[in-house]
Amino acid sequence: SQDWGFRTSILAVDDDMQAHTLLAMQGVLTEALFKLGGPILANLMRNKDADELALMRRAAKIADESFEPALQALRAGATEMQVEAALRAEMQARGGRPTFAIVATGAFAAEPHHKSDNVPIREGDVVIMDFGCDVEGYQSDITRTVACGKASEEAHNVYDIVLRAHHAARQKAAPGVACGDVDAAARQVIVDAGYGDYFIHRTGHGIGMKGHEEPYIIGGSEVLLEPGHCFSVEPGIYLPGKFGVRIENIVNISETGCESQNAEPADRLVEVGP
């Protein structure tokens, strides 16, 4: 077998390398030393240049433009998977390669890691739609929350709180600001509103060639934001057995502050239907 001159090399492998690939390489390159190279790649991928940002904005635009047409599939009696299929079809029709789409309705929207299923959407349900696509290797990621028909007063109130938290994080994000401080800005809004126990994940994650990469917008992180950093801002409130609300835009750090790659989220909980 051929070893390409790597037989006694030190080889760095990415975190995402599949086990069967690594084992096959180790079987051939028995004297090579394999080390985890994820941190090296993470640092290289963290700062996006102008060309990378342009591709990400194209991917974000496709996601933005796919949202409203896909809402035509959202009605009482339709399933989560039917709405997911509409999102994927709309992104593909606009030239994006769909990378994921998640639709969660009613009590399932209170589960941040729910996967779309054959669950029927009911009148009055709050529905989370989280989706994205790939353009020439660079990804988008957006979350919108709507209601199927008339939503409860509580749902409208929770949406308003999450929207304020979303904007607080974006206003905080700027060069030299710690990622943990951006998380804290969003979290404080939700804590002050009495829902702190129901914001159960970090505020955001980096994005680019991977859907999740550095930097992570998480409490306690002392990583300082720099121009070219791209990440999600996605606070949420999840009320078990009732509903959840999450609002997500992708932003990038400029020389002076924070720019959104996505269109602005609705300033109120949109009620879809007649």
- % of the chain with per-residue pLDDT over 90: 84
Question: CATH number, domain at 223?
Answer: 3.90.230.10
For residues 87 and 195, membership in a common domain is answered with yes
pLDDT at 44: 82
**pLDDT computed for residue 246 by the predictor:** 99
Q: Domain range spanning residue 21?
A: 10-36
Token digits of residue 211: 């859907």
Q: Is residue 5 part of a domain?
A: no
In terms of domains, do 32 and 134 share one? no
| Mean pLDDT (the chain, rounded) | 95
Whole-model pTM? 0.91
Instruction: Let me know whether 53 and 27 are in one domain.
Output: no
- Structural domains in the chain (count): 2
165-192 residue pLDDT tens? 999 999 999 999 999 999 999 999 999 9
Taking CB atoms within 8 Å and a gap of at least 24, the contacts of 22-29 are: 28/1, 28/3, 29/3
Q: What is the mean pLDDT of residues 75-98?
A: 98
> Are 157 and 176 within one domain?
yes
Stronger pLDDT, 172 or 2, i.e. the higher one: 172
Q: Are residues 97 and 219 in the same domain?
A: yes
Residue predicted with more confidence, 6 or 40: 40
2 versus 83: the higher-pLDDT residue is 83
Is there a single domain that holds both residue 138 and residue 265? yes
Closest CA to 142 of 83, 62, 70, 238: 62
Q: How many CB atoms lie within 10 A of CB 220?
A: 10
27 with 85, same domain: the answer is: no
Look at residue 121 in the predicted model and tell me its pLDDT.
98
Q: Based on the domain organization, do 18 and 123 belong to the same domain?
A: no
Shared domain for 24 and 159, answered yes or no, is no
| Cα–Cα distance for residue pair 203/180, rounded to 1 Å | 9
The identity of residue 27, as a single letter, is: G
Q: Where are the alpha helices (DSSP H) in the chain?
A: 19-28, 38-46, 50-70, 80-93, 153-172, 179-192
What are the φ/ψ torsions at residue 221 (nearest 5 degrees)? -70, 130
Per-residue pLDDT, averaged over 25-45, amounts to 84
Q: Give per-residue pLDDT as tens, 204-252.
A: 999 999 999 999 999 999 999 999 999 999 999 999 999 999 999 999 9
Comparing C-alpha atoms, which of 185, 188, 144 is closest to residue 168? Answer: 185
| Residue 41 per-residue DSSP state | H
28, 112: one domain: no
Q: Decide if 55 is inside a domain.
A: yes
**Is 1 inside a domain boundary?**
no
Residues 199, 125 share a domain: yes
Give domain status of residue 41, yes or no: no
Please state the three-class secondary structure of 157-171 as a single string: HHHHHHHHHHHHHHH
Identify the residue with better confidence: 95 or 27: 95
274: confidence class by pLDDT, cuts 50, 70, 90? low
pLDDT at 3: 52
Distances from the Cα of 197 to the Cα of 14, 104, 153, 194, 201, angstroms: 35, 21, 20, 8, 10
Q: Is residue 146 part of a domain?
A: yes
Distances (CA, A) of 196 to 166, 178, 193: 14, 21, 8
Is the model's pLDDT at 6 over the cut of 90?
no
Decide if pLDDT at 36 tops 70: yes
Residues 6+ apart with CB under 8 A from 257: 173, 174, 175
Residue at 60 is within a domain: yes
pLDDT at position 211: 95
Q: Is residue 2 part of a domain?
A: no
Q: Which of 19, 16, 14 is nearest to 44 (CA)?
A: 14
Size of the chain in residues: 274
Asked if the model's pLDDT at residue 1 lies above 80, the reply is no
The pLDDT score that the predictor gives to residue 41 is 80
Same domain as 110, residue 28: no
Q: Is residue 253 part of a domain?
A: yes
